[in-house]
Structures are given as C-alpha cells and as structure tokens.
Amino acid sequence: MTERRVVITGIEVLAPGGAGTKDFWSLLTDGRTATRTITFFDPAPFRSQVAAEIDFDPEQHGLTPQEVRRMDRAAQFAVVAARGAVADSGLVFDNVHEHRTGVAIGSAVGATMSLDQEYRVVSDGGRLHEVDHTYAVPHLYDYLVPSSFAAEVAWAVGAQGPATVISTGCTSGIDSVGYAVELIREGSADVMVAGATDAPISPITMACFDAIKATSPRREQPETASRPFDATRNGFVLGEGTAVFVLEEMESARRRGAHVYAEIAGYATRSNAFHMTGLRPDGKEMAEAIRTALGEARLNPDDIDYINAHGSGTKQNDRHETAAFKDSLGEHAYRIPVSSIKSMVGHSLGAIGAIEIAACALAIEHNVVPPTANLHHPDPECDLDYVPLTAREHRTDAVLTVGSGFGGFQSAMVLTGPGRRP
Amino acid sequence: MTDPVVVTGLGIVSPTGLGTAPYWSATRRGVSGIGPITRFAADGYPARLAGEINGFVAGEHLPGRLLPQTDRMTQLALVAGDWALADAGITPADLPAFDMGVCTASAQGGFEFGQNELRNLWSQGSRYVSAYQSFAWFYAVNSGQLSIRNGMKGPSGVVVSDQAGGLDAVANARRQIRKGTAVMVTGAVDASLCPWGWVAQLASRRLSTSDDPDRAYLPFDERANGHVPGEGGAILVMERASRAVARGAHVYGQVAGYGATFDPAPGSGGQPGLARAIRLALAEADLPPENVDVVFADAAGIPELDQAEADAITEVFGPYGVPVTAPKTMTGRLYSGAAPLDLAAALLAMDEGLIPQTVNVTPAERYRLDLVTDHPRAAQLCSALVLARGYGGFNSAVLLRSGYPQRVAAAR
Amino acid sequence: MTERQFTVDDLHRILVEGAGETEGGALGPDTIDTTFDELGYESIALLETGSRIEREFGVSLSDEDVMDSRTPRGLIEAVNTRLGTTSGAAV
C-alpha cells in the first residue's frame, strides 16, 4: 500500500487583532500586537489585567440567533472558522463522501466562559452549595461536555466520519491536527476538518493563573505585555481564538485540483512525566518529540528553515524550549529564525497551537517569517535568532512548530511546502 | 496486522466494586450499585438517584501531597491506574520512560473541584481560588497525573467525545502501540456527582426522575424514562501480543476492531451512524456478524435512542441475532468511564464464558433484541462488541477477541 | 494592638491544608532549615501556601517572599517581617 500523505487545503483563523486569515497574517507581518487591558469584565481585582481579545460579532460572521444562543463563544469561533476553512478549500461533498470526512477540534478549557457565567447565576453569586436547577439555561449540558464543539462543527460542515474533541491543555491545537493526520494516514478518513478553539478570558481563568503567577502582571502599555524571549518577560498574556483547517489525503486533493498550502509531514507528542505545570530546564522531552516528528517527516535537522516557538513569555518556558531546540537541532538551531506569535496574539491555551500551525502554513505560502514583537532586551539565556520586531523574507520550505502544556505535554509538528518533500 | 494489540491489565473503580474481583462478583450476581444520592442534598432536584462509589478513601491509596490538587475523578483514575499496572505485572520504573504512554478520555473534567473554586471566586474573591485550579479541573488532568505518577514519557492523549470517548481513547492508545510505543495506559474515569455537575446533567433532559432504584434505568424496556448517572470507570493496560506472550502476562483479550462515526445533523435526514461504526469495527477485525458472540449495548434508556441502537444492532446482526447485554444497568451511566468499564466486563465475560445480565429490564418486543435479562447466561465467548454513544451524535464501536490464542501461545 | 506572630506550627498547618501532607511529618526544629524542595513542596504548593498565609494573616507577600524563601525558616521570617510592617507593605 502506498503511503497516505496529508495536506492542508483550507485555512480560517479568528485571532485577536482581526477576525479572518488575511487580517491575521497582516497583523503578524506588520509586527503589530493585539494585547490590551481587559474589556470583557472589570479586571481591577486581578493581578493580571491584560489579554488579547477578539472583537467578534457572531451574527456578522453568519451565525443564526439560535446558534449564538446555544453555543459557547469558543464553539461559535470554531463553527465560523470551520465554515470558512471549507469555503477556502473549495471542498464540496461531490468530491468526497461525508462518511469519509471527520472532525477533530482541540480545546484546553472547553466552555469555560459559559460555565463561569452560568455557575454565577445558578449559585446566586456563590451563595448556594446546592445550586438552583430552575435557573439553568437549556444548553448547560453542552457547556458541561465540550465534545459539543466537535458536534457543532460536524453539523456545520456535514461531516459524518469520526468526530472528537482533543483536550491536552496548551498542546491541544497541535494534537488535534496531529490526531486528524493520523486518522487520514491510517485510512479512517479522507478529509478531516481539524483545528482548535478556546475562549478562556473569564474571571475564573484569570484567577487561576493569578494564583500561580503564570500570567503577566504588567499593566502599563498593555500592548507590550507579551514579551517572549525578552529579559523583562514576566508571564504570558491570555488570548482567545481559533484556527480550523481542511486536511486531505494528498492524492485526492491533487485530483480535485485543490490549492495546497502545505503538507503535514511529521508529528509527535511526549510527556515530561515531571510536573503538572513545571518544566525541567533541559527540554529533553520536547527534544524527543521534535526528533520523532522529524523522523516521521524523514527530514534532517538541517532541513528546517524556521521554528515557530511555543514562546509563551514565562521565564521557565522560553529557556526550556531554547534548550530543546539546541538539543534536537544542534548547531543548526543557531542558524535559523525562531519566533513567537504569542507576542502579538497572546496565548489562547488550546487554540494557539492551531493558530501557530496556520502561521507556519502562511510562512511557507509567502516565504515570510513573522517576528517576535516586544523583544528589545534579549535574555542571555535565550541566545537564538528570535526575529525581533520585524517580519523577515526568508525561503521557508520546512517549518517546525512546537507546544508545551500543563499536564507535561510536549508536542512537535513539521510542515513542508507542497511538493518540497520527496 | 500480524501482531495484535491486547489488554493485559484492568483497574476498575465502579459503584458495584473497587477492584476487578469485587466488581465482577457483583456483576455476575446482578447486584446493583444504584441508590439515593448521599454526596449532597439532592431532595430539591427532579432526579435523585445515582451510582455512587462508596468506601473509597483516597488517602489510603495516594500520597497526601496529591490530595489537595486532585478532583475525585483523578484520585479514582490514579488508583485504577496503579491496580491496572499491578494486574499487568508491569513496574513502570523498570521500563524506558519513552516506551510508555497514556491516553484517557474525559467527558466533563474535574467538575467537583471546579465547583468549589467557582464558589470561592464568586463568594469570596479571586484571591481565594486554589493554585491547583489551573489544572485540577481540566480535561487533560488524568492523562497528565497518570504520566507523572508512573513516569511515562511516551505519547499522551486526551479525547473528549462524551460517552463515546471511552472507546476513542482505547483506539488511540492502540494506534500509538502500532506506531511503536511498548505499553499504553488507557481508559477513563468520570465523576461529576456534585450539585453543579448534577444541575448541568439535568439540563440534558435525559436523567430518570424515578425514586425507585429498580425502576429508574430501564433501557430497551417499555417503561424506559431516562438514565441514572454514576461515577467511575476503568483503566486498562495495553501492549503488543508478542510482548505480552514473551513476558508471560495474562492476556484478557485483543482490541481487534474499531469504528467511529457521527450522526447526520438533526433534521437533515440521512441514516444514523451507529450501524456504520459497527460494520467498520467488524471489517477491521475481519469478522462476519454471525461470529460475534455478544454485544454490550450503549443502552441510553431513552426510547428514541434505544430504538436507534436496536435498529443498528438488528440491521447488522438480524432480529434476535446476537445476545445483547447492558451491565451498566447496575452502575448507571458513567460517561467516558462507561465504555472502558464495559470493555473490562466484556473481557471478564469472555474469560469466564458468562454473559452478565441486564438487571430490572423487561425487554420490549418492538426492539427485537435477544437481551440477556434475569440471569447471567453461560456461553463460549470468542468475541464481544462494545458500543458507546455520545451526546450530539458520536458513535463508537470496539470489537474484542478473547485472549485464548495468546494464552495457548504462552503455554507452549 | 498585639502583634500576631507567624509560627512554625502555623506554617505546618497551612501547608497541610493547602498542599497536603508529606511523609516527613510535622515541621519542627529538625526540619526548619530543610529546603521545601527536600520536604516535598514545589512551587505551586508554595504559591498556594503563600496565598493562604496572606488571607489568614492579612499580609501582602511579594513574589520574592514566597519563591525565594527556600526553607521554612526563611518563609517564617519573611512573613513576620511583613507582619511588622503590614501598612503599605504591598509590593
């Protein structure tokens, strides 16, 4: 049996700073940032008061009033992006069968925003332990089980193949796409509508990251709060958003004449088995994931042209992954651009991995690598080329993107330009 | 496909027993674990019965440092993981860390932990939220904590497809073994028996409002009026058959086939997907329907859903074509934990040659199912099909084959 | 106003409530200079403990007070320093 290979034929991104793939790519290549003082609720009681929010009007994006009513914000994002990605791919079910089309949507925290709001109501502001069911909204069960996100996407695009939500914390976006790739390769599906979504900017999320001082407490100049690899970085900035892709088996995509953005050539995930939130400085497990993903892609470290870093902007993370890049790519790590788009769009937990895959596919498409914004004072312990401030024209045939998440998950994915891999 | 993936370890945490022996003893005798909710004051709610796990004291099994940072479902999963590894005869410290991985399912996360912290937030303020809230409630926590406790650095995964996810996780674990990982810990445990979780479950409008534990959850019965939720599940250890045989492990059985589908959107017409999932699982296992010896049903307890499942079973196997059972009538529905527990029950049933019964149910004729009720049924079981469906239209099926061939191989 | 002292017993109680008990047993003279790491309490345990001390004793601890106090003695001293200067001690 010939090897089944998987390509991206459709992309839609909803990210802070502009809802839509085009606006997203302009933001990145301009090096603009979308972090701001929180507007969704009064941030005054919180240590961290900055986030990357999307100005999102669901009805303007084609959702019906009923869809808006029953879906959490993160599900709304995913449905809008899934429809956009399918439209971008030109896919219709004349070309493929809905039974052979599946769905994999990543999300770290599910319907957190709705659960936070609804809890407040049924508990009467936290007063009731035995919360009052008569105040519950009819769709509370859909918020309880985030698998509803995959169901909504499947309904929206008409998929009837395997469907699931992948929830591996902050690597959910890479892992959901990786899961989808594995299903196509093994023959369980020919097309996967895959990506990730999260809308976590809610008091409970701010409070839990405040409690472990993971988010940046910087309040002045909120647009500069997310500072990956900078010596003055002091935590990540929470974001929200989604990216959804149409993934297809390469030969069938070619047969229907689809535009191919990139091939997903390799993927792996490993665990650090160390700590739910902490990272060892050596990055050994992420390095192992990178090596495995490269092996699956049959590429050498020297073939990689660009690394899209996890780059969350916490002290620990940025050193951890710098070590992992050096461990896995050797001297080559010093020769290639590495950047973190979280400097511009914040850290949208499970969604960001998919948004970063979109950035990688667009970097391949345009031969431009996005910069790391707000990087003015390099940390001596982070001594790679992080593309400070300004995007760079750069021939980009093979890209590595990585993620690191609570639970100890370390994921890596390799994308290559169409036809660039033998 | 020459080297099957097999189950060599079971860890069971269920309303009818903690550990494999008590669970199977209760199951084969038809002892139910459903009763009035004791965990919180449920009198004000329209549904008041659940399958609670009694007598589980986390501190007897887990270090004190783990207790404040874990939800009940995680404590149960960690203990089930310990039991499953011990049952498999695997000491994780003896194996290379990257050769072992974890893939679990979750339906609802650590909801009780989440309720407590939401209460702290809204009644006292953000400074009262636990530092552990950042991970204790989220869907990935069981995979993360299992990998840490057992030093497993291989592939990790977490799938969320409501009740179907329990089978999707096992299938993904099998996928990782086929790609080269030696040992995978998989399965799922769910437990949302707290007021906030209860109110969210009530919103599904699928809970039984009966107060009679013997009349509340009656799938495939004319009197069916919803389900009773429970807590618990099972953790399984899986590896390649050749590896299991080489080390002389007891092989419970083989995960021989899997299929997953999604139903068409409501109101769009088109066939529901469960029969397709069954056919995919049988095709992968290369087994004709007449060679399937028993079906462990999803058993929703809602007339339309029971009808859809019965239609799928009769479409593939014919009317009264295969024995069908639902031991979850004794535990209640355990969400993502239900299907791994059904896999365990099916493996134990094949080991003993005994189909456990569906308790309390008088099957309605219109379903045309050979439902095993009243008494367990002795039968030689070489294969078993386990079905699971998730809210919204998720359908998954796993076909198990008995471990007999591997046991013969090991004996040689 | 009598000044409230933060004692090793307070620390032990709060550690156990917030972060759980280690095999080492109660904190005391023998362990007051053992690092938290060796005692089995990592960064999240200390952040939870710091937050509970702040709430119970009405003090404001800086990130450094909590994260740079590597031993029980160090943390007890940091808290008592803050207790002496509660007014305007927020950092």
Locate B390 and state its tokens: 């998730």
- Residue C4's pLDDT band, with cuts at 50, 70 and 90, is confident
Mean pLDDT of chain B: 97
Check if A366 is active-site. no
What is the mean pLDDT of the segment spanning B252-264? Answer: 98
Name the residue facing B203 among A125, A132, A141 (closest C-beta). A141
Q: What is the pLDDT of residues B260-286, one digit of tens each?
A: 999 999 988 889 999 999 999 999 999
- pLDDT at residue C39 tops 80: yes
Among residues A277, A259, A240, the alpha carbon closest in space to that of A355 is found at A240
Which residues, including other chains, have CB under 8 Å from residue B183's CB and lie 6 or more apart? B90, B95, B99, B100, B101, B154, B177, B237, B238, B239
Interface contacts B/C by beta carbons within 8 Å: 39
Name the residue facing B68 among C19, C22, C47 (closest C-beta). C19
Q: What is the pLDDT of residue B133?
A: 95
Q: What is the pLDDT of residue A94?
A: 76
- In chain C, residues with a C-beta closer than 8 Å to the C-beta of B130 are 18, 48
User: Residue B112: phi, psi to the nearest 5?
Assistant: -70, -45
ipTM greater than 0.85: yes
Q: Map tokens 């007070």 to a residue.
A: C65
Among residues A413, A420, A168, A422, the alpha carbon closest in space to that of A293 is found at A413
Q: Give the C-alpha separation, A102 to A100, whole Å.
A: 7
DSSP state of B249: P
Right CATH for B257-411 from 3.40.47.10, 3.40.718.10, 1.10.10.10, 3.30.450.40: 3.40.47.10
Q: What is the pLDDT of residue A1?
A: 57
- Residue C91's pLDDT band, with cuts at 50, 70 and 90, is very low
Residue environment code for B178-193, b if the CB has 16+ CB neighbours within 10 A, otherwise e: eeebbbbbbbbbbbbb
Q: What is the pLDDT of residue B191?
A: 92
**CB pair distance less than 8 Å for A277 and C51:** no
**CB pair distance less than 8 Å for B148 and A274:** yes
Helix (H, G, I), strand (E, B) or coil at B23: helix
- As a whole-number percent, the residues of chain B with pLDDT over 70 amount to 100
- Please tell me the distance in Å from C44's CA to the nearest CA on chain B: 6
Parallel, antiparallel or unpaired: strands B156-160 and B100-105: parallel
Q: Give the C-alpha separation, A167 to B161, whole Å.
A: 10
Q: What is the pLDDT of residue B408?
A: 86
Q: How many CB atoms lie within 10 A of CB A81?
A: 35
Q: Give the C-alpha separation, A182 to A161, whole Å.
A: 14
Helix or strand (DSSP H, E) at B397: strand B394-402
- Please tell me the distance in Å from C3's CA to the nearest CA on chain B: 24
Q: Give the C-alpha separation, B22 to B301, whole Å.
A: 26
**CB pair distance less than 8 Å for B64 and C16:** yes
**CB pair distance less than 8 Å for A212 and C47:** yes
**CB pair distance less than 8 Å for A203 and B126:** yes
Q: Give the C-alpha separation, A352 to A195, whole Å.
A: 10
CB B219, CB B363: distance < 8 Å:
no
> What chain B residue is nearest to C47 in terms of C-alpha separation?
B131
- Residue C86's pLDDT band, with cuts at 50, 70 and 90, is very low
Q: Give the C-alpha separation, C14 to C56, whole Å.
A: 9
Check if A170 is active-site. yes
Q: How far, in Å, are A203, B110, B114, B205 from residue B199 at the CA level?
A: 21, 15, 14, 10
- Neighbours of A, requiring at least 3 CB pairs below 8 Å, are B, C
- Please tell me the distance in Å from B274's CA to the nearest CA on chain A: 11
DSSP conformation letters of A274-301: S-SS---TT-HHHHHHHHHHHHHHT--G
Helix (H, G, I), strand (E, B) or coil at A320: helix
Name the residue facing A275 among C42, C47, C63 (closest C-beta). C42
Q: Give the C-alpha separation, B411 to B405, whole Å.
A: 10
Check if A394 is active-site. no
What is the mean pLDDT of the segment spanning B39-45? Answer: 97
Among residues A330, A315, A301, A321, the alpha carbon closest in space to that of A386 is found at A321
CB within 8 Å of chain A, chain B residues 331-370: 335
Parallel, antiparallel or unpaired: strands A18-19 and A6-15: antiparallel
Report the residue of C36, C37, C43, C65 to disrupt the A interface, i.e. the one with the largest count of A CBs within 10 Å. C43
- pLDDT at residue C90 tops 50: no
Check CB contact of A189 with chain B, cutoff 8 Å.
Answer: no
> What chain C residue is nearest to A208 in terms of C-alpha separation?
C48
Each residue's pLDDT expressed in tens, for chain A with a length of 422 residues: 579 999 999 999 999 998 899 999 999 999 999 999 999 999 999 999 999 999 999 999 999 999 999 999 999 999 999 999 999 999 998 777 999 999 999 999 999 999 999 999 999 999 999 999 999 999 999 999 999 999 999 999 999 999 999 999 999 999 999 999 999 999 999 999 999 999 999 999 999 999 999 999 999 999 999 999 999 999 999 999 999 999 999 999 999 999 999 999 999 999 999 999 999 999 999 999 999 999 999 999 999 999 999 999 999 999 999 999 999 999 999 999 999 999 999 999 999 999 999 999 999 999 999 999 999 999 999 999 999 999 999 999 999 999 999 999 999 999 999 987 77
Q: Where are the beta strands (DSSP E) in A221-350?
A: 238-239, 241-249, 262-271, 306-308, 338-339
Helix (H, G, I), strand (E, B) or coil at A368: strand
Q: Which regions of chain B carry the CATH code 3.40.47.10?
A: 5-246, 257-411
The CATH superfamily holding the domain C8-84 is: ACP-like (1.10.1200.10)
Locate B22 and state its tokens: 């008590």
Look at phi and psi of residue B127 and say left if phi exceeds 0, alpha if psi is from -120 to 50, else beta: alpha
Check CB contact of A136 with chain B, cutoff 8 Å.
Answer: yes
- Residue C2's pLDDT band, with cuts at 50, 70 and 90, is low
What are the structural domains, with CATH classification, of chain A? 6-111+146-415 (3.40.47.10)
The residues on A that touch C, with CB distances below 8 Å, are 211-213, 275-278
- pLDDT at residue C85 tops 70: no
- Residue C87's pLDDT band, with cuts at 50, 70 and 90, is very low
Intra-chain end-to-end CA distance of chain A, in Å: 17
Q: Give the C-alpha separation, C53 to B390, whole Å.
A: 44
Q: What is the pLDDT of residue C30?
A: 87
What is the mean pLDDT of the segment spanning B363-374? Answer: 97
DSSP conformation letters of B70-121: --HHHHHHHHHHHHHHHHHT--GGGS-GGGEEEEEE-SS-SHHHHHHHHHHH
Parallel, antiparallel or unpaired: strands A163-166 and B156-160: antiparallel
CATH 3.40.47.10 fits B5-246, yes or no: yes
- Neighbours of C, requiring at least 3 CB pairs below 8 Å, are A, B
**Signed CA dihedral, A141, A144, A147, A153: sign only:** positive
> What chain A residue is nearest to C62 in terms of C-alpha separation?
A213
